[in-house]
Structure 1
Amino acid sequence: MKQLKEYTIPFVGLKQGIHQFEYTIDNSFFEHFEYDEFNAADVSLVIEFNKKATMLELLFKASGTVNVNCDKTNEPYDQSIESELFLVIKFGDEFNDENEDLLILPHGEFEVNVAQYVYELIVLAVPSKRIHPGVKDGTLQSDILKKLEELSPKEKKNDDQNEETDPRWDKLKNLLNDK
């Protein structure tokens, strides 16, 4: 996977203080990561870049919609997402990204590529169980929903009078009632 150059922030020429970077994320961004779960994406991303003397602080804010397929009916729908990520960048002897909230860059680095963090922020903002809003409120009419309803197990009414039970279990039930 090649790095996306527009997500590389050269921080060496920036003055200390807060800088803001804005991006619009669409499906072409996810094609670089070979991620095809989204039918379409329209996410706006704002990165607040705070340059300090010895470290960098980045606050990622993503909001927008991604078009995904429902897990129940496979119908496409727009899932709204809102997510934030706070990242601290420090400088050390060697590159280290083992901690998800802390990135260590080697001394002498002059730029940072944030594409991987943007990708993870958006993908993890989508719920793991994606249900079409029409399924939740009952407005979606679908052949799949009708078939699921038809094949779902029917509830059986439990009639204690007509059902014979093992007398050993009845004795155990009495233990609960004798308190």
Structure 2
Amino acid sequence: MKQKEFNIPFSGLKQGKHNFNFEIDNTFFDSFGYDDFNSANIQLNVVLNKMTTIMELDFKASGYVNVNCDITSEPYDQEITSALELVVKFGEEYNDEDDEILILPHGEHQLNISQYAYEMLVLSVPQKRVHPGIEDGTLQSEVLDKLQELQPKEKRNDKEENDPRWDELKKLLTDK
């Protein structure tokens, strides 16, 4: 779904660099049917460099998304930063098969960047989401306590581990 607020009208712009700023929250991701984020607060800055025959777009995003930890399911804020460069050329027909080059038909006067922003932001979140409290040991959670409880115990002593069936086989090795 293309969101109108992410349209960049380039036809009336002079040659040179132009800044566009966007605030992205969870409604942006909901419009794409993406519900992995509990909430989002991201600032997206797009610099459009308009030249005679092409345009260059430089995307930079920073902020956070609230996600659930893969280990404990505890929600936490995951910081994200991301960047993307896109070259826009003009041709006979629309073509977005290349990730870095977009071809717009002659006569277009605006560009919708929502799909590029969406892909850039979703891919900037780590594949494995681990609460920072797990790594530094500050997170207190019932799930972590249960995982600790279910962790395999260390070997207590050798006598409990001796199995009489194996003892007989070990004698065969020493009898040689």
**TM-score normalised by structure 1 residue count:** 0.85
Q: What amino acid maps onto 2:13 in structure 1?
A: L
Distance in 1 separating the partners of 2:135 and 2:68: 15
Map Cα deviations across residues 106-160 of structure 1 (whole Å, 9 max, x no partner). Answer: 1111111000011111111110000000000111011101111222234559x9x
Distance in 2 separating the partners of 1:117 and 1:154: 49
Distance in 2 separating the partners of 1:79 and 1:31: 18
Q: What amino acid maps onto 1:151 in structure 2?
A: L
Q: What amino acid maps onto 2:50 in structure 1?
A: K
Gaps of 5+ in 2: 171-176
Distance in 2 separating the partners of 1:144 and 1:51: 53
Within-5 A mapping of 1:33-112: 33-112=32-111
Q: What amino acid maps onto 2:137 in structure 1?
A: G
Q: Aligned pair count? A: 165
Q: What amino acid maps onto 1:71 in structure 2?
A: D
Q: What amino acid maps onto 1:152 in structure 2?
A: Q
Aligned to 2:143: 144
| 1:11 maps onto 2:22 in alignment | no
Distance in 2 separating the partners of 1:42 and 1:67: 9
- Match of 1:124, SS state, is helix
Aligned to 1:127: 126
- Match of 1:71, SS state, is coil
Distance in 2 separating the partners of 1:155 and 1:44: 49
Identity of aligned pairs, percent?
Answer: 60
Displacement over 6 Å in runs of 4+: 162-166
Distance in 2 separating the partners of 1:88 and 1:42: 27
Distance in 1 separating the partners of 2:117 and 2:76: 22
Shift, 1:43, TM fit:
0.4
Distance in 1 separating the partners of 2:118 and 2:155: 48
